Chains A and B, each alone.
Chain A
Amino acid sequence: MISVQLASLLTSGMLIIIGLFAALFLDNIFKKIIGISFITEGVNLFIVTLGYKSDGVVPIFLPGMVKDVFVQNSAYPLPAAMVLTSIVIGASTLAVMLALVIILYQKHGTLSASKLLMDDEEMEAGE
């Protein structure tokens, strides 16, 4: 059986790959955005996994704990603190993108990325 940390790293890698696949190769813009949220979640999982320690304890010092034992066993708290911010940033960028998608749908009546995100040059050539 592989260790929890390695399995978790593999999971985060899989999430990033699935997300990248969706963001690059699916045509529906809604699916692309879901894929992008998977990329962000994968990266977050990766960073949280860095702080994990097998058989460790949660890095919160409660009254009654022995200091030396706690220092030996606690997980590394810095990655978790970083990921908190990162999750919120991911959610807010997603919200902005969804708002833009709604506006674009009202304008063009489609969710197909190849039609919505055409280059300006291509537009001029098409007209």
Chain B
Amino acid sequence: MDSFIPLLVIVPIFCAILLNLCHGKDKLVKLLALIFGITLPITPIFVNYGNHFFGGYSPLFLNSSWATNLPSTITNSILFNFHPAITYVFGGMQQIFIFILGILTFFVIFTSLNESKRASGVYTFLIFMGTAAVTAVFLTDDIFHLYIFFEISVMTQVGIILCSNIQRKHETALKYMFLSNIAAPMLLLGIGLLLGLTGNVNISDIIIAIKTGVVTPDNPVLLMAAALILFGWLYGSGLPPFHSIKSAMYSKATPHAAAILQVFTVFIFVSLGIVIIRIFAFISLLRWIIMIISALAMILGISMAITQHDFKRMIGYLAVGELGYVGLGLAIGTIQSITACLFQAVNEILLTGLLFIGVGTILYKTGTTDTNKLGGMLTENPFVAFIFLLTGFAMAGVPPFNAFQSKLLLIQSALNAGFPELGVLMIILSIVTFMTFVKVFYTVYLKPQPENMKIINKKIPQVTVISMVLLLIVCIMLGLFPNIVTNAFSQFAMGLL
């Protein structure tokens, strides 16, 4: 049923509000959070593909019986294709992404509830609310609706880092809010310019208006709107010049929270990036800019990751660097490259989440993430170390894992589209990623143990290990059978161009 599509957003919001009301009753919050967490990956499986028009106002071309008595000025003009309602589009691509989001949110809630004695209703509220917000950003075809949920997701991200007990979190939160309140009005201004040009905020309608010549494509105002929306995109996804604030956000959150924050970031990156490519694909300058910024993000993110000595910050920078791959795929703009970039986005969500949860086990045992104070963890917990090593291999693109398939596809598409330089760059940077990872692994697990290192908790909770193993199994599955997702993605990419 198409009419179940809004449930994808309504269910998390409902769960969030209920959990917030239960704050203070620890056992109830734990129980409800687990039950609601399971619904997140299940809902997208049972919702059918289709479009949902809020209020039931479908466009005339889908419902030609409504158009029989209308004057020809409406039926023969662009108004015939006009979308009068806020539209949610749900297809195979959206299903996979929301399913992955659900899995990761569930594991994050599961592990974080297990590791902390007290369950905070507010914290779970923020996680569910953020999930709802990014789901709406992903589904919507209405650019102003996207802006609203973009703002909500920013607020929840700030709230999530305020829930940690790490030093100087308030400063980072204020700085992030500050930049958000400069970047988000710029995004809104860009949306306003598009509204002024086309009289509409529906993305499909804007595209029709540009393609049918209602708005001339070389209109300078359109270029201005593109620049402003691009600015909002760069901020929302933490590409340079915003990469250091984004990785600071990750380092100020607890590891589970960081895992969920990077999922939100990737979702906003992919959905706004697709919007930009859909509307402004004809501006070749814009595609060059996206390409340069993505390459810069890769180089800056990965090279800054090597120099860090805080482990969480290191992975934060790696996450920013990996986003560069996705951006390059978008900028190349062929069907193959967009398929590859969506696949890479899914892999990045899974692998970075897994790495952050892995960091969580070390923080849980030792109480520190400073690599200078760590060492010799291999003897403490060899199994977790093994999973961590496999994750690192996967991130660098070693064969049986998922990132190998997506990076291979990305490099092939770069070669096919006539950008061999980008292919070379990607290969070099994935070697550097691997090097960074080996360095982390050495300093944490292999290096002799410093004398002043204390072990706070002896045993890592079983739940954390189980969720890491399950996530790794998902990664291997995607690596062995990439067709599960790439078919849906290439179909989406074909519809896009």
Binding site for B on A (CB under 8 A): 16, 20, 23, 29, 32, 36, 39-40, 42-43, 46-47, 50, 76, 78-79, 82, 85-86, 89, 92-94, 96-97, 100-101, 103-104, 107, 116-120, 123
Q: With A96-B155, A100-B173 in contact, is A32–B178 under 8 Å at CB?
A: yes
Looking across the interface, which residue of chain B has its beta carbon closest to that of A23? B182
From A42, A82, A97, A107, B181 is in contact (CB under 8 Å) with A97
Complex Cα distance, B186 from A39, in Å, reads: 9
Return chain A residues, CB-CB under 8 Å to B244: 119
New contact pairs (11) apart from A16-B189, A107-B170, CB-CB < 8 Å: A32-B178, A40-B181, A42-B185, A46-B192, A47-B188, A76-B199, A89-B148, A97-B178, A104-B171, A104-B174, A116-B174
**Which of A29, A94, A97 lies at the interface centre, i.e. has the most chain B CB atoms within 10 A of its CB?**
A97
Question: Does B248 interact with chain A (Cβ within 8 Å)?
Answer: yes
Complex Cα distance, B177 from A101, in Å, reads: 11
Does B171 lie within 8 Å of A20, measured CB to CB? Answer: no
A-B contact pairs, 23 of them (CB 8 A): A16-B185, A23-B182, A36-B182, A39-B181, A39-B185, A40-B181, A40-B185, A46-B189, A47-B188, A47-B192, A78-B195, A79-B192, A82-B144, A93-B151, A96-B177, A97-B174, A97-B177, A101-B174, A104-B174, A117-B171, A117-B174, A118-B171, A120-B172
Q: With A85-B148, A104-B174 in contact, is A39–B192 under 8 Å at CB?
A: no
Chain B, 381-400, CB within 8 A of any chain A CB: none
Return chain A residues, CB-CB under 8 Å to B201: 78, 82
Return chain B residues, CB-CB under 8 Å to A40: 181, 185
Return chain A residues, CB-CB under 8 Å to B172: 120
Return chain B residues, CB-CB under 8 Å to A32: 178
Does A50 lie within 8 Å of B195, measured CB to CB? Answer: yes
Return chain A residues, CB-CB under 8 Å to B158: 96
| Minimum Cβ distance to chain A for residue B117 (Å) | 25
Q: With A50-B196, A78-B195, A116-B174 in contact, is A36–B181 under 8 Å at CB?
A: yes
Return chain B residues, CB-CB under 8 Å to A93: 151, 154-155, 177, 180-181
Complex Cα distance, B195 from A79, in Å, reads: 8
Chain B, 138-196, CB within 8 A of any chain A CB: 144, 148, 151, 154-155, 158, 168, 170-175, 177-178, 180-182, 185, 188-189, 192, 195-196
Complex Cα distance, B181 from A76, in Å, reads: 27
| Minimum Cβ distance to chain A for residue B102 (Å) | 26
Does A123 lie within 8 Å of B168, measured CB to CB? Answer: yes
- In the complex, per-residue mask of B117-153: 1 if CB is within 8 Å of any chain A CB, else 0: 0000000000000000000000000001000100100
Does A43 lie within 8 Å of B177, measured CB to CB? Answer: no
Does A103 lie within 8 Å of B170, measured CB to CB? Answer: yes
Does B182 lie within 8 Å of A39, measured CB to CB? Answer: yes
Complex Cα distance, B170 from A117, in Å, reads: 10
Return chain B residues, CB-CB under 8 Å to A29: 174
The 9 A-B pairs at the shortest CB distance, nearest first, are namely A47-B192, A100-B174, A43-B185, A50-B196, A36-B181, A39-B185, A89-B151, A43-B189, A97-B177
Does B155 lie within 8 Å of A92, measured CB to CB? Answer: yes
Return chain A residues, CB-CB under 8 Å to B180: 93
Complex Cα distance, B144 from A40, in Å, reads: 15
Complex Cα distance, B148 from A86, in Å, reads: 8
Return chain B residues, CB-CB under 8 Å to A117: 171, 174-175, 178
Return chain B residues, CB-CB under 8 Å to A23: 178, 181-182
| Minimum Cβ distance to chain A for residue B162 (Å) | 8
Does B177 lie within 8 Å of A100, measured CB to CB? Answer: yes
Looking across the interface, which residue of chain B has its beta carbon closest to that of A48? B192
- In the complex, per-residue mask of B270-288: 1 if CB is within 8 Å of any chain A CB, else 0: 0000000000000000000
From B170, B195, B251, A47 is in contact (CB under 8 Å) with B195
Complex Cα distance, B199 from A76, in Å, reads: 9
Return chain B residues, CB-CB under 8 Å to A119: 244, 248
Return chain B residues, CB-CB under 8 Å to A123: 168
Chain B, 39-62, CB within 8 A of any chain A CB: none
Looking across the interface, which residue of chain B has its beta carbon closest to that of A113? B178
- In the complex, per-residue mask of B196-233: 1 if CB is within 8 Å of any chain A CB, else 0: 10010100000000000000000000000000000000
Return chain A residues, CB-CB under 8 Å to B248: 119-120
| Minimum Cβ distance to chain B for residue A87 (Å) | 11
Looking across the interface, which residue of chain A has its beta carbon closest to that of B200? A78
Return chain A residues, CB-CB under 8 Å to B148: 85, 89
Return chain A residues, CB-CB under 8 Å to B175: 117
Return chain A residues, CB-CB under 8 Å to B185: 16, 39-40, 42-43
Complex Cα distance, B491 from A88, in Å, reads: 39
From B154, B177, B181, B192, A50 is in contact (CB under 8 Å) with B192
Looking across the interface, which residue of chain A has its beta carbon closest to that of B180? A93
Looking across the interface, which residue of chain A has its beta carbon closest to that of B181? A36
Complex Cα distance, B484 from A62, in Å, reads: 56
